Structure 1
């Protein structure tokens, strides 16, 4: 394996070297100068570089070539300055959802066909330089004092972690946003029994149910949540709270709040829990927490108990039946006891949608409602469950239909035996 980044360039690829570095320095200087004259530069505001500036940088510092080669040179100069650098070619491949750099510097892609090596590799020093630059671009620091972090860069979520926290060399994970976020109906067309899931999800949206979307990393939680929010009525105000901004629903009135890590002295931190509290003062019609992972769940549940119907959030869990345990664990991080958390969650959450990534893609496998007939215990009742190719209705379906006008139905005492989420089912559809 050759040293450093060594892709197989197509015809017209950039002739890397001193000229390219001079072009990048010249372009960076011009962007900084325009930023000083007019506030933030266009690159800082939008993550893009004006094409005329990129073209002039290439014309000044790289040899005269064909129009195709010039375009390739412009792309590479901009990628190295404000984009994903050597990861950009892999990120542009159709169907790629993730680009990963492992401890050896090997570059991988993830997509419909699973993980694949690209045949390219970064030296440790180059991977570290890239990671630091990407996080700095997103307003985050990455150094010995803060050896890991997330940032939003050119529409992608970038996570990086440095040795010795990471074994081997620096590790970089890039989650790419879809060029055009799919709508809920478009997603449902790819799901097994998609029409049934679509009816259920639109019902939850219509009655302003409070919904948690669970699943593993990469199961499609954020994609489904964004698609759901895109169908919220146009006259409603959505306030989203995220650690790193990923939700980009196609809706005319979205306020996005993003947490912030501290500076080198440890000051300036803004947590998700604080942002949830601030969001409540911003007149939300729909309050959305991109991912509940800690103490912020207490403020989120409190918000849903103060009349903020139609709230939504995501969290990691193995199944819908495991969500109560996850909520209790997160509540414990905020010092909330099991009994108090159970009372909060049972009156706040209406439904849980669980997603999985299988050989057929990312799709829902379970929809459950919270069992309000239980006392002192947080349980769920299955409403829809996908097993193989069969879709089964559970006893929670009646409770789901009772959700109306922003008020929760009570499934009744006969459903308590289903509190583990694995109770009886009926009305199977192949």
Structure 2
């Protein structure tokens, strides 16, 4: 612990800059040796980063490739609105109570534009509200709070976001203010106004886990879809020894999350017991392939009600032991399990030698199943080599849902069926199976 009259930075202005090059910022705080600092580093992609300032603490900094502009007072009403050209990201302040900033831009009928505030996500006290106005000052749309789940340490998502298709050619105004009617030199914002820029960001949880050689572990991947992006996202795994795989790693169109599994090779070297993997997502946007790296995070609960994706520095895989049995799914027979409400389907299983001996049987269960889906009985053939588990779609299963089934195998005494299990006949966990893609049909 260090105590004393130490320099501590509370804010920087502007609160962001370009992806590359130098950005000169003003520092505010206590015991600072200087009121200015130069941010000089390259950022891999648009986002929020922690940067040093010469003080004892870091501050948050938003990096963007868009052209930047500084707010110019007086711009407190439509008549004195600051003229900007899209796309732009504006660095400004709500200086006093009751202050509103207006920005004027031109658009054409059918243009799809977005406006987004970075304030609370950068640690400023601003509780923004934005309004899009037509040339006469009539409100077309507005927004107060917008939830960005990728910022897991925020408990009040006070930044704003809106999108709109412009109704006519002409001039438009974007108004920004503080909905709590507060303002100060600390109420700093970055305001993006642009045509829609579809994109995505990924988080993966948990951030660290243990896997056995030949074993399989389930993970959650969360997608933050930006500016209307709805396309599928294909996940990849790298920076690991040969043989590691992601099973069924495609986030379907329009969905924000997916459970996947990671499988380890059975012949992994004993020296490779702690690994730092990289999970990426690829998607086609405007005829270009965009790749984003998934950031590790922990999905944590606050106050028994709210969940937050709390970021971690890196993902760590610890390899320990060897899986008891590696049961797999016969993907040649079923590339995707198609289910209909009120009906059943079979997931074919392949059993290695010894996983179901003469006096041991298997029960396969669904782990955290999608709504309306249940696992039925598990059947093993007389040769103890193949089998299947029945998946039941209840009548309330919602058509159109896609994702992955996560199956876990347990051992039970020969001849014992799932529906006849007694309280003292507890199944013993055997292994997790590779993820199985499914779709609920009409």
Q: Name the TM-score class by shorter chain.
A: under 0.3
Between Structure 1 and Structure 2, the one with more helix by share is 1
Between Structure 1 and Structure 2, the one with more strand by share is 2
TM-score calculated relative to the size of structure 2 = 0.27
TM-score calculated relative to the size of structure 1 = 0.28
Between structure 1 and structure 2, the one with the greater Rg is 2
